[in-house]
Chains A and B, each alone.
Chain A
Amino acid sequence: MKAELGKNLIEVEGLKKYFNVGSGKVLKAVDNLNFFIREGETLGMVGESGCGKSTAGRTILRLYEPTAGSVKFNGTDIYKLSPNKMKAMRRDMQMIFQDPYASLNPRFTVSDIIGEALDIHKMAGSGGERKKRIEELLDLVGLNTDHATRYPHEFSGGQRQRIGIARALAVNPKFIICDEPISALDVSIQAQVVNLLQELQERLGLTYLFIAHDLSMVKHISDRVAVMYYGKMVELADSEELYSNPIHPYTKSLLSAIPIADPEIESQKKRILLSAEGGGPIRSAGEASEESTLVEVSPGHWVATPY
Chain B
Amino acid sequence: MARYVTSKLLYTLLSLFILITATFFLMKAIPGDPFMSEKEVPAPIRARLEAQYGLDKPLMTQYVNYLGNIVQGDLGISMKKLNQEVSHIIGQTFGVSLRLGLIAVVVSTIVGVALGLLAALYHRKFIDSTVMVLAVVGIAVPSFVLASLLQYALGLKLGWFPITGLKSSLGYVLPVIALSANPIAYIARLTRSSMLEVLHADYIKTAKAKGLKWPAILWKHVIRNGILPVVTYVGPMTANVITGSVVVERIFGIGGIGKVFVDSISNRDYTMIMGITLFYGIILMLARFITDIVYVLVDPRIKLTSGKEG
Residues of A whose CB lies within 8 Å of any CB of B are 19-23, 27, 29
* Segment from B5-13, B74-82, B300-308 that makes contact with A: B300-308
- Within 150-176 of B, Cβ neighbours of A (below 8 Å) are at none
Q: Give residues 220-244 of B contacting A (CB, 8 Å).
A: none
Cα(A111)–Cα(B306), bound, Å: 43
B310 at the binding interface (Cβ < 8 Å): yes
Complex: chain B residue closest to A55, CB-CB: B310
CB <8 Å contact, A23 and B310:
no
A289 to B308 CA separation, bound complex (whole angstroms): 22
Q: Mark B28-70, 1 if CB is under 8 A from A, else 0.
A: 0000000000000000000000000000000000000000000
Contacts of B305 in A (CB 8 A): 22-23
A29 / chain B contacts, CB cutoff of 8 Å: 310
Q: In the assembly, what is the distance between CA of A23 and CA of B308, in Å?
A: 10
- Residues on A with beta carbons closer than 8 Å to the beta carbon of B307: 21-22
Say yes or no: A19 contacts B310, CB within 8 Å: yes
Q: Which residues of B contact A (CB under 8 A)?
A: 305-308, 310
A22 vs B308: C-alpha distance in the bound complex, in angstroms?
6
Inside 8 A of A22's CB, which chain B residues have their CB?
305-308
In the complex, what distance in Å separates the CA atom of A42 from the CA atom of B305?
A: 43
* Contact partners of B310 in chain A: CB under 8 A: 19, 21, 27, 29
Main secondary structure of the interface of B (DSSP, over half): loop
Can you name 7 A-B pairs with beta carbons within 8 Å? Answer: A21-B307, A21-B308, A22-B306, A22-B307, A22-B308, A23-B306, A27-B310
Q: What chain B residues lie within 8 Å of A20 (beta carbons)? A: 308
- Name the residue on B nearest A19 (C-beta): B310
Which residues of B sit under 8 angstroms from A23, Cβ to Cβ?
305-306
| Residues on the A chain within 8 Å of B306, using CB | 22-23
Chain B residues with Cβ below 8 Å from A27 are 310
Q: What's the Cα separation between A29 and B307 when bound, in Å? A: 17
Apart from A19-B310, A21-B310: 11 A-B pairs, beta carbons within 8 A = A20-B308, A21-B307, A21-B308, A22-B305, A22-B306, A22-B307, A22-B308, A23-B305, A23-B306, A27-B310, A29-B310
Distance of A22 Cα from B307 Cα, bound (Å): 6
Q: Chain A residues near B308 (CB, 8 Å)?
A: 20-22
Query: What residue of chain B has the Cβ atom nearest to residue A20's Cβ?
Result: B308
The 10 closest A-B pairs by CB, nearest first: A19-B310, A22-B308, A22-B306, A22-B307, A27-B310, A21-B310, A23-B306, A21-B308, A20-B308, A22-B305
Q: What's the minimum C-beta distance from A254 to chain B, rounded to whole angstroms?
A: 24
A19 to B307, CA, bound (A): 12
**Which has the most chain A C-beta neighbours within 10 Å: B305, B306, B310?**
B310
Looking at the assembled complex, report how far the CB atom of A229 sits from the nearest CB atom of chain B, in whole angstroms.
19
Look across to chain A and name the residue whose beta carbon is closest to the beta carbon of B307: A22
Complex Cα gap A19–B305 (Å): 17
Report the bound CA distance from A21 to B309 in whole Å.
Answer: 7
- Complex CA gap A86/B65 in Å reads 59
User: For the complex, what is the distance from the CA of A20 to the CA of B307, rounded to whole Å?
Assistant: 10
| Chain B residues with CB under 8 A of A19 | 310
CA A27 to CA B307, docked complex, whole Å:
12
Cα-based distance from A97 to B92 in the complex (angstroms): 68
How distant is the Cα of A20 from the Cα of B306 in the complex, in angstroms? 11
CA distance A21 to B305 in the complex (A): 11
Q: Report the Cα distance A222→B305, complex, angstroms.
A: 43
State A21–B310 Cα separation when bound (angstroms).
Answer: 6
Who on chain B is nearest to A29 by CB?
A: B310
- Shortest CB-to-CB span from A283 to chain B, Å, is 14
A106 to chain B, nearest CB (A): 22
CA distance A29 to B310 in the complex (A): 10
Distance (Å) between the CB of A210 and the closest chain B CB? 24
B305–chain A nearest beta-carbon distance, Å: 7
Whole-angstrom distance between the alpha carbons of A19 and B310 in the complex?
A: 6
- Measured between C-beta atoms, what is the minimum distance from A57 to chain B in Å? 16
Bound Cα distance A148, B140 (Å): 46
Closest chain-A Cβ to B304's Cβ sits at a distance in Å of 12
In whole Å, how far is B27's beta carbon from the nearest beta carbon of chain A? 43
In the complex, what distance in Å separates the CA atom of A23 from the CA atom of B310? Answer: 13
Closest chain B CB from A218 CB (angstroms): 26
CB distance from B309 to the nearest CB of A (A): 9
Nearest CB in chain A: distance from B235 CB, A: 27
A27 nearest CB neighbor, chain B only: B310
Chain B neighbourhood of A21, CB < 8 A: 307-308, 310
- In whole Å, how far is A27's beta carbon from the nearest beta carbon of chain B? 6
Q: Which residue of A lies closest to B310 (CB)?
A: A19
Name B308's closest neighbour in chain A (CB-CB): A22
Q: How far apart sit A303 and B305, CA to CA, in the bound complex (Å)? A: 39
Q: How far is the CA of A305 from the CA of B306 in the complex (A)?
A: 36
Shortest CB distance B150–A (Å):
48
State A27–B309 Cα separation when bound (angstroms): 11
Task: Report the separation of the CA atoms of residues A191 and B306 in the bound assembly, to the nearest whole angstrom.
Answer: 44
